[in-house]
Amino acid sequence: MSGYFDELSTLLRAGGVPAEQVEATVSDLAAYVAETGADPEEEFGPADDFAGQLLAARRPEADAADATEWRWTADVFAERQMLARLGDQGWEVDRVDHLGRFVSHRDPERPQRWEYRRELVPPGGAGALVARLAPDGWEPCGTWICFEYFKRPRAASVGPAAQLESPPAAPGRNVFFSRRFYLVLAVLLLALIVPGIILGSSDGDAADFYAGMTVGVCVAVAVLTLMWLWTARRRL
């Protein structure tokens, strides 16, 4: 009897089952056959076959645990594209956390496609916006600064085709920054540094250097403001 359970323990560990879970499972099985007086191989079948059954039964639970929560982020230029792409892969956004990351999950048993939209929310206007979009099936799924994010099942627009038969695995990374984002960062950096260098190097006066830095800050703020206004006008 002990040889059967030793082999079963080895096979389960090799299949990735944690040691404490293997010990608990084998102890329960050993206690059962001790009480009934049954032969474990006759009761459960060959150890390798039985281990395969236990591992197969455990796999959906492991997949569900892996898909319980996935957090990812994207810059303001890429997030609409990523929401559309990941929603089409069955990822449902539950909320936006305090770091601006999308907290998502995917149903491991019945995955379906989701669609999203982003709206600029004026102060105190979230309630009216939610009420306006609700009749079309949109529900809020997160807020970040002045943006409100909404989701709805793709079935609302495409029907049964929204069901996913074999969704792809989660992406291997969770940060999605676009080239445009890095370009804006470079422009802002130059806007901050170059005016200070030019004005400060003219006569070496520190006051001119700081004046140049102030100009750079103003330029950077202006660029950010224009970028924000341009992006905010484009709905998801």
From 60-69, 114-123, 148-157, the region with the lowest mean pLDDT:
60-69
Once rounded to an integer, what is the mean pLDDT over residues 67-77?
A: 83
CA distance 193 to 187: 10
- Are 174 and 202 in contact by the 8 Å Cβ rule? The answer is no
Strands (E), 108-200: 114-120, 139-144, 147-153, 175-176
pLDDT attached to residue 61: 46
CA distance 156 to 143: 23
Pick the most confident of 163-172, 189-198, 203-212.
163-172
From 29-33, 64-68, 69-73, 149-153, the region with the lowest mean pLDDT:
64-68
CA distance 13 to 11: 5
- Mean per-residue pLDDT over the chain, rounded: 78
Q: Flag whether pLDDT at 197 surpasses 50.
A: yes
Q: Tell me the pLDDT band of 236, cut-offs 50, 70 and 90.
A: very low
Q: Flag whether pLDDT at 184 surpasses 70.
A: yes
Residue 127: its H or E element: helix 126-133
Once rounded to an integer, what is the mean pLDDT over residues 142-158?
A: 88
- Are 170 and 105 in contact by the 8 Å Cβ rule? The answer is no
pLDDT attached to residue 181: 76
Q: Flag whether pLDDT at 39 surpasses 80.
A: yes
Burial string for 122-158 (b: 16+ CB within 10 Å, else e) reads: eeeeeeebbeebeeeebebbbebeebbbbbbbbbeee
Greater model confidence, 185 or 105: 105
Q: Tell me the pLDDT band of 15, cut-offs 50, 70 and 90.
A: confident
Once rounded to an integer, what is the mean pLDDT over residues 28-35?
A: 82
CA distance 97 to 175: 14
Once rounded to an integer, what is the mean pLDDT over residues 47-72?
A: 68
Q: How far is CA 203 from CA 190, 198, 207, 216, in A?
A: 21, 10, 10, 19
Greater model confidence, 170 or 152: 152
Torsion-angle region of 119 (φ positive above 0: left; ψ -120 to 50: alpha; else: beta): beta
Once rounded to an integer, what is the mean pLDDT over residues 150-168?
A: 83
pLDDT attached to residue 27: 86
Strands (E), the chain: 70-74, 92-96, 102-105, 114-120, 139-144, 147-153, 175-176
Query: Which tokens sit at 198?
Result: 């030019």
Q: Is the pTM of this model over 0.85?
A: no
pLDDT attached to residue 85: 94
